[in-house]
């Protein structure tokens, strides 16, 4: 604005000097012209100064604009880098969570398979134990039956032998039923006979006797 006023003033002065009547002398005109030129020169200097100041301000403003642009670009770049780092971290966290989730699923499936496998073996073991228990009970019953048969056979054998000896000899025998705690030695001592004779009469090959077994004992009465 100041430069525009200076230019307008110079133009007006030049026009006024050119259009004024020549009432003065040439010396006055020269002085007047020099004054006018000096004023014009001064105004031009002021104009150059204003232009230089304006250019300087423009340069400063341009520098500030460039600085602000660089700062804005740096901030954008840093913000983008931070956002990118956050996105990468989030993606890594998601991958880690997915990996843990798959691991948990595999562990769960393995545990379920182990439980099913153990349950299957437990059922097989229970069935086998049930069958073994039934077989043991069956063998126990068969053993009891066989023991009864053995006792009856021994009794029948003793009776037959007793009858046979009775037919061959006039010796008289009495029957003794084995009780708990009895031994051949104890029975022989009680009836005052030898163990070997009891074994011979009853045809025993060893000293083992059973509770309830009937033995023939010589009756001396």
Read off the CATH number of the domain in which 208 is found: 3.10.350.10
pLDDT per residue over 159-196, tens digit each? 777 666 655 555 678 899 999 999 999 999 999 999 99
For 159, the domain range is 139-218
208 lies in a domain? yes
185 lies in a domain? yes
The span from the first CA to the last CA of the chain, in angstroms, equals 171
Q: What's the confidence (pLDDT) of residue 2? A: 46
88 lies in a domain? no
Q: What's the confidence (pLDDT) of residue 211? A: 92
Residue 55 CA to residue 146 CA, distance in Å, equals 133
Residue 104 CA to residue 165 CA, distance in Å, equals 88
Q: What's the confidence (pLDDT) of residue 75? A: 84
* pTM listed for this prediction: 0.28
124 lies in a domain? no
121 lies in a domain? no
Q: What's the confidence (pLDDT) of residue 212? A: 93
How many domains, in total, are found in the chain? 1
Q: What percent of the chain has pLDDT over 70?
A: 84
Residue 99 token pair: 């990996």
Q: What's the confidence (pLDDT) of residue 162? A: 63
Return mean pLDDT, the chain: 81
Q: Is the distance from CB of 184 to CB of 200 less than 8 angstroms?
A: no
Residue 91 token pair: 């993606």
36 lies in a domain? no
77 lies in a domain? no
Inform me whether the pLDDT recorded for 63 exceeds 80. yes
Inform me whether the pLDDT recorded for 145 exceeds 80. yes
Q: What is the mean pLDDT of residues 133-137?
A: 87
Inform me whether the pLDDT recorded for 218 exceeds 50. yes
119 lies in a domain? no
């Amino acid at each position: 604005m100041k430069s525009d006023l200076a230019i307008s003033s110079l133009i007006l002065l030049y026009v006024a000097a050119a259009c004024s009547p020549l009432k003065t002398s040439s010396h006055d005109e020269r002085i007047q012209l020099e004054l006018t030129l000096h004023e014009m020169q001064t105004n031009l200097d002021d104009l150059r100064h204003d232009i230089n100041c304006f250019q300087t301000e423009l340069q400063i403003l341009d520098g500030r604009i460039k600085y602000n642009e660089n700062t804005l670009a740096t901030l954008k770049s840093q913000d983008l880098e931070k956002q990118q780092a956050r996105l990468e971290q989030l993606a890594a966290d998601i991958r880690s969570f997915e990996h843990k989730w798959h691991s948990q699923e595999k562990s769960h499936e393995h545990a379920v398979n182990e439980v099913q496998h153990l349950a299957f073996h437990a059922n097989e073991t229970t069935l086998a134990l049930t069958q073994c228990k039934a077989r043991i009970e069956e063998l126990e019953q068969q053993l009891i039956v066989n023991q009864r048969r053995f006792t009856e056979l021994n009794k029948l054998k003793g009776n037959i032998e007793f009858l046979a000896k009775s037919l061959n000899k006039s010796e008289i025998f009495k029957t003794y039923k084995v009780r708990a705690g009895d031994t051949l030695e104890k029975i022989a001592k009680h009836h005052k006979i030898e163990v070997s004779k009891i074994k011979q009469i009853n045809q025993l090959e060893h000293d083992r006797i059973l509770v309830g077994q009937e033995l023939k004992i010589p009756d001396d009465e």
